[in-house]
């Protein structure tokens, strides 16, 4: 079982709740994924006549843990303010912290991310930072009080999979006791399985499911891939090698003269 801060979860698949064709399809996809945690943006609670309340009702009916996020925030002040508002709306100290630097790649502003994480941790938040696979940045986030790290696989919504396997593997080796969740850029279930085979504790995705032709089927496929990848990691898979290794013993083989 995976423990994130003070909360134990069985599912290692976290799912986003944006971009679905309808709230009903989103709810069906979440059920098909069998996930214990969904991410929700505060922006859905905004707007005329608090239209987000209908959406929030769907989330409450699912009966699972909510991880609010600061999606779309580009400054430390904006991210901190959004997190504080989300804590009031959703009633949780959890926050997926995003401080975006570049509008094209949606790459995190790592300097602002560390600063915002430090401020929020001191304010009692349990921070899940959306970060890169950079070891130095990860160390600063841990020093700032983060007990979970969420490095990207690739840019958000790009469906490119794991762009830097070496970096992700190094991060896993460097932080063996900290929960690591690959967040963003996964496109197909095999990407999720690959992340889990590296020893990552979970994956978080949204676009790959929400924008699929059949979000419910895709959610189920990702759930199975995450389970398979975790089982493969726990089974201690065979290391790659450069030379062939016969599966049939050569000892006792008949030789003709």
Catalytic residues, by residue number, are 96
CB atoms < 10 A from the CB of 118, how many?
18
Task: Give the torsion sign (CA, 214, 215, 216, 221).
Answer: positive
Are 118 and 108 in contact by the 8 Å Cβ rule? The answer is no
Q: Which residues of 41-72 are buried (b: 16+ CB within 10 A; e: fewer)?
A: bbebbeeeeeebeeebeebeeeebebbbbbbe
Distances in whole angstroms, Cα of residue 50 to Cα of each of 56, 61, 243? 10, 18, 63
DSSP letters, 138-194, are HHHHHHTT-S-BEE-SSSTT-----S-HHHHHHHHHH-TTS-BEEES---SHHHHHH
106: closest CA among 79, 71, 149? 71
Half-sphere exposure of 76 (CA within 13 A, CB side): 11
Structure tokens at 96: 């997926």
Altogether, the residues listed in the chain come to a count of 257
Q: Are 99 and 73 in contact (CB under 8 A)?
A: yes
């Amino acid at each position: 079982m995976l423990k994130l801060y003070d909360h134990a979860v069985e599912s290692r698949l976290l799912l986003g709740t944006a971009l679905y064709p309808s709230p009903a399809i989103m709810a069906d996809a979440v059920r098909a994924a069998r996930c214990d945690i969904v991410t929700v943006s505060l922006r859905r609670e905004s707007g005329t006549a608090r239209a987000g309340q209908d959406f929030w009702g769907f989330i409450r009916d699912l009966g699972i843990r909510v991880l609010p996020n600061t999606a779309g925030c580009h400054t430390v002040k904006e991210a901190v303010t959004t997190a504080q508002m989300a804590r009031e709306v959703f009633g949780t100290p959890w926050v997926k912290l995003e401080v975006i630097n570049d509008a094209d790649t949606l790459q995190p502003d790592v300097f602002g991310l560390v600063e915002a994480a430090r401020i929020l941790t001191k304010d009692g938040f349990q921070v899940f930072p959306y970060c890169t696979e950079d070891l130095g940045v990860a160390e600063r986030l841990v020093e700032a009080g983060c007990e979970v790290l969420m490095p990207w696989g690739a840019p958000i919504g790009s469906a490119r999979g794991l762009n830097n396997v070496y970096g992700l593997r190094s991060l896993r080796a460097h932080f063996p006791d900290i929960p690591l969740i690959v967040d963003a850029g996964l496109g197909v279930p095999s990407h999720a399985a690959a992340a889990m085979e590296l020893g990552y504790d979970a994956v978080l995705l949204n676009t790959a499911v929400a924008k699929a032709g059949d979000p419910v089927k895709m959610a189920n496929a990702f759930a199975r891939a995450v389970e398979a990848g975790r089982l493969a990691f726990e089974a201690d898979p065979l290391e790659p090698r450069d030379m062939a290794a016969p599966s049939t013993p050569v000892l006792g083989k008949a030789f003709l003269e």
